[in-house]
Amino acid sequence: MSIMRILLPESSTPKRVYLFFFGLIITLTLLSGMQQLLWRQWRIGAASVSTIGLVTALDCPNHGHVDYSFAADRQNYSARQFFVDGIDCRSLKIGQRIAVVYERAAPDNNLALYPIEGEGNRARSAFLTGLAFMSAFILIGPLFLSALWSVVSRLTAKIR
């Protein structure tokens, strides 16, 4: 007997199936660390400062890692991100100028963005977009998985 059959017997109601997948997705979201990225973006968006940075190294085959440096408060900072928001890693060149948005009180908390000239609070926009996608994933994902579970359960019941 499989673990899924123990957790969700064939007689499970749609509500129970949805709640099971809702709990599973909440757990996976917490384990993924997505909330840390959103918290970082929130902090930057709340008190953001923009500056210009330079790409110092590229590691596109390794999930698009981009190293960059920038100056803030007469001090140089280096950072690494999985991607630069707004441009593909393969389109970047070492020495290319990018926009960097950082938290006023903590320049180590920063985001790299492209193009350089942007309007509005781009860190806040990134936060709201991430929050919308995470919310949709948490709320709509279980609906899809529970519907898929119902279809598979019916098909396997007909086979037996």
Residues 114-143 pLDDT 10s:
776 666 667 777 778 888 888 888 888 888
Q: State residue 1's pLDDT score.
A: 47
For the chain, which ranges sit under pLDDT 50?
1
Q: State residue 53's pLDDT score.
A: 94
Q: State residue 69's pLDDT score.
A: 96
3-class DSSP assignment, residue 66 = strand
Nearest to 123 by CA among 33, 28, 23, 44: 44
Contacts by 152-155, CB closer than 8 A, 24 or more apart: 153/10
pTM above 0.85, yes or no: no
- Give domain 46-130's CATH architecture: Beta Barrel (2.40)
CA 95 – CA 1 distance, rounded (Å): 58
3-class DSSP assignment, residue 147 = helix
